[in-house]
Amino acid sequence: MKIVLHPKNLSFGDAGVNSNCEQILRLPLVIALTGLSKSSIYAAMIQNRFPMSVAIGVRAVGWKRKDITNWLESRKPSNLKEAA
């Protein structure tokens, strides 16, 4: 069975999620949330302009949800940060 999370349906405040557990986002969801391509994400990681991935298996990586959320917040124009 394959579980697909669509970014429009992803709620960062889900009550069913253990808040003590670090959530890991896989590449397709990171691409959908950021609007960046796979190659842009990896290029930005090399240049220290994007959060580093973490190994979650021998051939699998993901990104910490809080790192992606913080990165997205840092990209907002300052006038939008104040309004939120």
Per-residue pLDDT of the chain (84 residues; tens, 9 = 90+): 444 455 555 555 554 555 567 899 999 999 999 999 999 999 999 999 999 999 999 999 999 999 999 999 999 887 666 666
pLDDT tens-digit readout, 26-50: 999 999 999 999 999 999 999 999 9
Q: What angle do CA 8, 69, 3 make, to 5 degrees?
A: 45
Domain-by-domain residue ranges, the chain? 24-83
Residue 6 vs residues 33, 36, 82: alpha-carbon distances, Å: 9, 16, 28
The residues that bridge with 25 in the sheet, in sequence order, are: 63
